[in-house]
Amino acid sequence: MKELLSRYPVSPQATQNTHINADKYQQMYQQSIEQPDVFWAEQAEQFIDWYKPWKQVSEVNYQTADISWFKGGQLNVSYNCIDRHLASKANQTAIIFEGDEPTDDFRVSYQELHDNVCRLANLLKTRGVSKGDRVCIYMPMIPEVGYAMLACARIGAVHSVVFGGFSTESIKARVLDADCQVVITADEGVRGGKKIPLKANVDAALVDCPDVHSVIMVERTGVEVNWQDQRDVNYQEVINHYEPMCEPEMMDAEDPLFILYTSGSTGKPKGVLHTCGGYILYAAMTHKYVFDYQEGEIYWCTADAGWITGHSYIFYGPLANGATTLVFEGVPTYPDAGRCWQVCEKHQVNIFYTAPTAIRALMGLGDELVEKHDRSSIRLLGTVGEPINPEAWHWYYEVVGQSCCSIVDTWWQTETGGILITSLPGAVDMKPGAAGKPFFGVKPAIVSKEGDVLEGEARGRLVMTGSWPGQMRTVYGDHQRFFDTYFSQYTGYYFTGDGAKRDADGFYWITGRIDDVLNVSGHRLGTAEIESALVLHPKVAEAAVVGYPHEIKGQGIYCYVTLMSGVDCQQSLTEELQALVADELGRFAKPDYIQFAPGLPKTRSGKIMRRILRKIAENELENLGDTSTLADPSVVKDLIDNRIVHG
């Protein structure tokens, strides 16, 4: 195996140029913890334009799950993302659109963004949408998805973006749960050369949603669609009839901004509700500091608007900071797996933010596709969504970043609104695989299963002491569920659902969801740790590990391994991998079974669905549960056919 560094100190050069350096981080962090209300009041004044000041900075009660920030303060999020930049940036690019086909791109200036958002806001008003109403947005990754979100924010409507890859059933459930009466969609989406019938999906979903009276459809491909004259509105046909001026609605800081559905370990997806003031402050501030965004830079986050990362770090955070944000319609592997780097070269991207799963997929396809594109504009690389295994980290650092870009790991959740733990560039050393240190105002703690707070070097469950402005406020329509899910386990703390360890230097390492923790012969093991070990092997592209009941050890270790393209799976490789894990983590961690799998079951946001893998490893095939949210349901059949049946 290669010799790899486990810690990269902040370079003196980086320290001079970043917004935050190590000393400043210490000093600001200290203040944010000792005098949180003073700290957050200063930040709120600096980052956000308010119509009216707040009465109280924060009111937080974890016994009842009642949380408010800047109550009584008035603002408008779309004003903060657009209007206030116009005096100096009307002609600056707000959005660079890069289409699915590499020849398809255009730019949207802040003035154009303003006009487009206002027109759509006016259209929504004429369809009867007003403050507090819920609007469902089911769109491909085109600028109009941003216009739609901001148009809602402008008039005080609450948007609920449903990922464009979700099926009819998911749309229906979300429209009904939030009681949306308007849906904004497109005729079709285009991704990786394939068409997605968005309008047809909406039509099918709405058969059971009688309260939806308006569907606004953006034409993306011009395909013929079914039409209901009373209900359906063609965006392109009508939009220019609306004024490019629409007075922003004055919103209380605690008025809802959006709902975003997310799945937990149990039950149907929860409608995570975020409010205006705290959310936009937290999104803007983290975007500026965590990505060290400097005026004029080109910033690209590859997420989809249907996920929280798209909300906070494609649209709200960057636009609140007057940044140029790239909106990408396609996928990293179309027309070939060099697409990301080709786009970086073409648009001179400075900051690139993606997920480890994408990094691992691209890593498996070789370095040539990276190296043939000029990446000299890139100075910062980010990751989000899951722990990054050190092997992928090193590839990202050395091959993509040519060993001269900071890598910023960002740990957070739909529920947290923005990044909570990170290796702040220029301020916090980089340790491959570690999420890093808390952002300003964030007080993580590690507790044992029983709820004892562990000090110093520790391993346990990650909770948060106290609140931060970007925290979710409730589960839409079910406050009790909000309390039960996050505040009932450990009194006085927000429970993240993740396991973590804190090392001697105070860095946090996420070990994965609590439900993915294995107990093998009394040893606690994060499945992520075993996966990291497996992918150290040069022939391994990706690995997913689950536990299964084992008579003697409690749990056994079952690994699904995807090999680099062109590699054959022989028995000797199984033994090599078992030995590798045993070497990396200890003999107790030696995998019992390794199944070679050409593909892993992933949600459309790229998360591996371990539930399915666990069932297959347990040979419990009758009860695989819902597989309809998988990006590619056919991988499941292959996994079943090639499973290792054990006694």
Q: Which residues carry a binding-site annotation for ATP?
A: 385-387, 409-414, 498, 513, 524
Please state, in angstroms and rounded to a whole number, the distance separating the CA atoms of residues 388 and 386: 6
Q: Which two tokens stand for residue 105?
A: 């791109």
Q: Please list every residue from 251 through 270 that binds ligand 6R9, using CB under 6 A.
A: 262
Among 255, 498, 542, 592, binds ligand 6R9 (CB under 6 A): 498
The residue written with tokens 């990362």 in the block is 309
- Residue 297 interacts with ligand 6R9 (CB under 6 A): yes or no: no
- Residue 447 interacts with ligand 6R9 (CB under 6 A): yes or no: no
Q: Please list every residue from 16 through 35 that binds ligand 6R9, using CB under 6 A.
A: none
Q: Helix, strand, or coil here: 234?
A: strand
Choice between 218 and 427, CB closer to ligand 6R9: 427
283-291, 382-390, 529-537, 624-632 -> range binding ligand 6R9 (CB under 6 A): 382-390
- Residue 411 interacts with ligand 6R9 (CB under 6 A): yes or no: yes
The residue written with tokens 């590699």 in the block is 567
- Residue 386 interacts with ligand 6R9 (CB under 6 A): yes or no: yes
- Residue 432 interacts with ligand 6R9 (CB under 6 A): yes or no: no
From the CB of 358, what's the least distance to ligand 6R9, in Å? 13
Q: Which residues does the annotation place in the binding site for Mg(2+)?
A: 535, 537, 540
- Residue 535 interacts with ligand 6R9 (CB under 6 A): yes or no: no
- Residue 414 interacts with ligand 6R9 (CB under 6 A): yes or no: yes
Among 153, 257, 435, 446, binds ligand 6R9 (CB under 6 A): 435
Going by C-beta distance under 8 Å and a sequence separation of 6 or more, which residues neighbour residue 439?
A: 286, 289, 290, 418, 419, 420, 421, 422, 424, 468
- What's the start-to-end Cα distance of the chain, in Å? 34
Going by C-beta distance under 8 Å and a sequence separation of 6 or more, which residues neighbour residue 117?
A: 78, 82, 147, 150, 151, 154, 246
Q: Which phi and psi (to 5°) does residue 94 adopt? A: -90, -45
Give the number of other Cβ atoms within 10 Å of residue 106's Cβ. 12
24-32, 243-251, 302-310, 484-492 -> range binding ligand 6R9 (CB under 6 A): 302-310
Choice between 411 and 596, CB closer to ligand 6R9: 411
Choice between 157 and 510, CB closer to ligand 6R9: 510
From the CB of 444, what's the least distance to ligand 6R9, in Å? 13
Q: Which two tokens stand for residue 438?
A: 């808390």
- Residue 385 interacts with ligand 6R9 (CB under 6 A): yes or no: yes
- Residue 410 interacts with ligand 6R9 (CB under 6 A): yes or no: yes
- Residue 485 interacts with ligand 6R9 (CB under 6 A): yes or no: no
Q: Which phi and psi (to 5°) does residue 32 adopt? A: -65, -25
- Residue 300 interacts with ligand 6R9 (CB under 6 A): yes or no: no
Question: Rounded to 10 degrees, what is the CA torsion of 601, 606, 607, 608?
Answer: 20
- Residue 574 interacts with ligand 6R9 (CB under 6 A): yes or no: no
Please state, in angstroms and rounded to a whole number, the distance separating the CA atoms of residues 440 and 646: 49
- Residue 412 interacts with ligand 6R9 (CB under 6 A): yes or no: yes
Q: Which two tokens stand for residue 318?
A: 């960057």
Give the number of other Cβ atoms within 10 Å of residue 240's Cβ. 9
Closest C-alpha among 124, 41, 68, 43 to residue 252: 68
Choice between 154 and 513, CB closer to ligand 6R9: 513
Please state, in angstroms and rounded to a whole number, the distance separating the CA atoms of residues 609 and 601: 6
Q: What order of strands is seen across the sheet that includes strand 270-275?
A: 232-234, 214-218, 182-186, 134-138, 158-161, 256-262, 270-275, 474-475
Among 154, 394, 437, 513, binds ligand 6R9 (CB under 6 A): 513
Cα 348 to Cα 96, 321, 379, 647, distances in angstroms? 11, 19, 11, 56
From the CB of 501, what's the least distance to ligand 6R9, in Å? 12
| Contact between residue 213 and residue 128 where contact means Cβ atoms under 8 Å apart | yes
Choice between 322 and 390, CB closer to ligand 6R9: 390
| Contact between residue 519 and residue 555 where contact means Cβ atoms under 8 Å apart | yes
60-68, 85-93, 101-109, 407-415 -> range binding ligand 6R9 (CB under 6 A): 407-415
Q: Which phi and psi (to 5°) does residue 515 adopt? A: -75, -5
| Contact between residue 163 and residue 304 where contact means Cβ atoms under 8 Å apart | yes
Please state, in angstroms and rounded to a whole number, the distance separating the CA atoms of residues 141 and 305: 7
From the CB of 496, what's the least distance to ligand 6R9, in Å? 6
- Residue 409 interacts with ligand 6R9 (CB under 6 A): yes or no: yes
From the CB of 226, what's the least distance to ligand 6R9, in Å? 33
What does the per-residue mask of binding to ligand 6R9 show for 179-218, with x meaning CB under 6 A?
----------------------------------------
Among 99, 143, 387, 401, binds ligand 6R9 (CB under 6 A): 387
- Residue 529 interacts with ligand 6R9 (CB under 6 A): yes or no: no
From the CB of 610, what's the least distance to ligand 6R9, in Å? 11
From the CB of 149, what's the least distance to ligand 6R9, in Å? 17
Residue spans of beta strands (DSSP E) within 320-432: 324-328, 351-354, 380-384, 406-411, 421-422
Choice between 275 and 527, CB closer to ligand 6R9: 527
Give the number of other Cβ atoms within 10 Å of residue 212's Cβ. 19
From the CB of 262, what's the least distance to ligand 6R9, in Å? 5
Please state, in angstroms and rounded to a whole number, the distance separating the CA atoms of residues 359 and 378: 16
Q: Is the dihedral of CA 519, 525, 526, 530 positive or negative?
A: negative
Among 469, 470, 497, 601, binds ligand 6R9 (CB under 6 A): 497
- Residue 167 interacts with ligand 6R9 (CB under 6 A): yes or no: no
Choice between 164 and 338, CB closer to ligand 6R9: 164
The count of residues interacting with ligand 6R9 (CB under 6 A) is 20
Going by C-beta distance under 8 Å and a sequence separation of 6 or more, which residues neighbour residue 181?
A: 128, 129, 133, 134, 135, 211, 212, 213, 214
Q: Which residues does the annotation place in the binding site?
A: 191-194, 309, 385-387, 409-414, 498, 513, 521, 524, 535, 537, 540
Q: Give the footprint of ligand 6R9 on this chain (CB under 6 A).
A: 262, 307-309, 384-387, 409-414, 435, 496-498, 510, 513
